[in-house]
Amino acid sequence: MHLPQKNWLLCFLILSVVTPLFSVAADSLYFREDWKEIPFALPITPEHVNNPDLRMETHGPGKLGIKKSHHAEKENDPFYIWSGQCYMSWALSLKKQGKLVDLSSKSAKVSWRSKQSGGHKLHLLIKLPGERWFISDLNDAGSEDWHEFEFRIRDLTWRHFSIIKCTAEESVKTPDLREVEQIGFTDQKAGNKSAFSSRLDWIEVYGKSKNAPKGTPPAVKSTPVVPTLSDKVEAHTQLEYASYRDRKLTLDLYQPKQASGPLPAVIFIHGGGFYKGDPSSYTAMAMDLAQNGYVTMNIFYRLSGEAPFPAAIQDCKAAVRWARANANKYNIDPNRIGSVGGSAGGHLSGLLGTSGPATYLEGLGGNQGESSQIQACVVMAGGMDWRTEEALQTASEDPRRRIYTFLDGTWESAKQSYNNASPVFHVSKATPPMCFMDGEFDSPGTRYSGIIQKLDTLDIYYESHVIDKAPHPFWSSYPFFKPAMDILVSFFDRTLKNES
């Protein structure tokens, strides 16, 4: 059967219009998260994420107040995220393992179910490769009733987002949204432990999924160290060591159960670019060193999103003063105290070691009558001078603005902070013995040339070590943990126990 010519023409015109409509398919569901139906927790933990393909991160100085909430006595009460306990700014983001999402199409969107109270508003948050974070101007002001809200990505305008402070900053042109690594949400108003807050039940992301680029394989496969408390060591956790009005800081202390006399003590200072991290990355080292006859203290300190320099070093000094004030209680020899840290914690350990005479860095955390001078110091992959050309260039190229935030300004606007925060600036005859450690694949030795030259001039004992085939960081994984601990024990035995 043959159609008349005019019918063929009509069919062609219809197909020419309809075909493009079908060829551009709507974006599909990239992920959905609605949280596991398990008991509430403060703070929320990764085990509360329901979607096995997702990894959760929490951010900001108020992140420990993000709660996974649920009220069993309330009918149909969902399992949701609640910000009421956040005393400062916060954010939560989700990443799909091994994947990126293209949100550049007209149909890309993010939807969620939420409710807000007391003027709280939820904003959309995205992360692009290279640690570039952005926050939407559009927000879900919502209501005190549960409701659904939708962000049409194509219609949004954006601001730079400080992942350190978790605050919106300058307006930016619409970023390239073809490769989005993480998606999340944030409320720019702290809950302050009140009933007023933001709540989020579930979140859905619609876009085009793509495979994430594969990272460079490690030269040596590593395995995280699992902390194991020896039956010869006693743990005292969450001991308050400093307070600043309503802000309390704690440490975990590990103490050998049997000792013939007062023991040397070592303070562990965690890393994380000054804006994230917690003491858990040093729990294994602290427990292990305690087995070798040391009282060890693993400390929390104020991160730069909460308070800039000199807050962090003031907290480290407060920990030393607390150790001396409580020496009898925990069998500590107050004349033999050392410190160790890695990365940002390595810098703070170095600064703690060199700035003993710098009374203007003491702070008011408590036990003001005690000295913060230490007798030995270990630096693992920590910067010693923020004023070098390389350090200033690194700071200017960092989209996270870690150094600017930590030092509360640029080199031009905060020169004194850059001086005071540089361990090399404080080196004097009062500086104790120092030990430097680097991984072989982490620019070994390049951070320490200036400070070693000063130590040499003043004839101060120091050691420098390179961990074979190790990356940055190396201190919390095998096979690097043991050689690092061997160096640590040997150095402290020599300097705090006076064993040759």
Residues ≥6 apart with Cβ < 8 Å to 120: 83, 187, 189, 191, 196, 197, 198
* pLDDT for res 158: 98
Considering the domain architecture, whether residues 90 and 236 belong to the same structural domain is answered as no
Q: What local confidence, expressed as pLDDT, does residue 218 receive?
A: 62
Q: Do residues 108 and 243 share a domain? A: no
371 domain-assigned = yes
Residues 202, 292 within the same domain = no
Overall average pLDDT of the 52-65 stretch: 94
The predicted pLDDT at position 24 comes to 45
Mean pLDDT (the chain) is: 91
Which pLDDT score is estimated for 500? 61
Quick one: 156 and 245 in the same domain? no
- Is residue 478 domain-resident? yes
Q: Say if residue 152 is in the same domain as residue 249.
A: no
Residue 149, domain CATH: 2.60.120.430
pLDDT tens per residue across span 407-446: 999 999 999 999 999 999 999 999 999 999 999 988 887 8
* Count of domains for the chain: 2
Tell me the percentage of the chain whose pLDDT exceeds 90: 77
The DSSP code for 109 is E
Mean of pLDDT values over 184-189: 92
Quick one: pLDDT at residue 214? 83
Q: Is pLDDT at 20 greater than 60 in this prediction?
A: no
pLDDT above 60: residue 13: no
- Asked if residue 473 is part of any domain, the answer here is yes
Taking each helix axis as running N to C, give the angle between helix 481-495 and helix 283-291, from 0 to 180 degrees, rounded to the nearest 10. 50
Q: Do residues 239 and 251 make contact, with C-beta atoms less than 8 angstroms apart?
A: yes
Q: What is the pLDDT of residue 170?
A: 96
* pLDDT at position 27 over 90: no
Q: Is 366 found in the same domain as 253?
A: yes
pLDDT at 9 over 80: no
The pLDDT-based confidence of 14 (bands split at 50, 70, 90) is very low
Q: Give residue-wise pLDDT tens across range 216-236.
A: 666 677 899 999 999 999 999
How big is the chain by its Cα radius of gyration, in Å? 27
Residue 191 banded pLDDT, cuts 50, 70, 90: low
| Phi and psi torsions of 498, nearest 5° | 60, 35
pLDDT tens for 322-375 read 999 999 999 999 999 999 999 999 999 999 999 999 999 999 999 999 999 999
218 inside domain: no
End of a domain among 211, 237, 260? 211
Does the residue 198 lie in any domain?
yes
Q: What is the DSSP string of 330-388?
A: TTEEEEEEEEEEETHHHHHHHHHHH-TT-GGG--SSS-TTS----SEEEEES----TTS
pLDDT for the residue 216: 62
Whether residue 373 sits in one domain with residue 318: yes
Residue 98 belongs to a domain? yes
User: Is a pLDDT exceeding 50 seen at residue 465?
Assistant: yes
| Contact in structure between 391 and 443 (CB atoms under 8 Å) | no
**How far is it, in rounded angstroms, from Cα 71 to Cα 40?**
8
pLDDT of residue 293: 96
- Beta-bridge partner residues of 203: 33, 112
The confidence band for 270, taking pLDDT boundaries of 50, 70 and 90, is: very high
Q: Is 194's pLDDT higher than 90?
A: no
Mark which of 211, 241, 275 sits at the end of a domain.
Answer: 211
Judge if 168 and 228 occupy the same domain.
no
pLDDT of residue 441: 87
Statement to judge: residues 95 and 227 lie in one domain: no
> Same structural domain for residues 354 and 288?
yes
* CA–CA gap between residue 461 and residue 282 (Å, rounded): 25
Q: What is the pLDDT of residue 15?
A: 43
pLDDT at 12 over 80: no
Report strand pairing: 54-59 vs 90-96.
Answer: antiparallel
Separate counts of helices (H) and strands (E) for the chain: 10, 24
Say if residue 40's pLDDT is above 60: yes
Q: 197 pLDDT band (50/70/90 cuts)?
A: confident
Q: Find the mean pLDDT for residues 27-37.
A: 95
Asked which of 185, 211, 237 is the last residue of a domain, the reply is: 211
153 in a structural domain: yes
Region 468-478 average pLDDT? 89
Same domain as 232, residue 160: no
Q: What is the pLDDT of residues 129-159, one digit of tens each?
A: 988 999 999 999 977 889 999 999 999 999 9
113 with 235, same domain: the answer is no
Domain that holds residue 467: 223-495
Instruction: Please check whether residue 11 lies inside any domain of the structure.
Output: no
CATH for 415:
3.40.50.1820
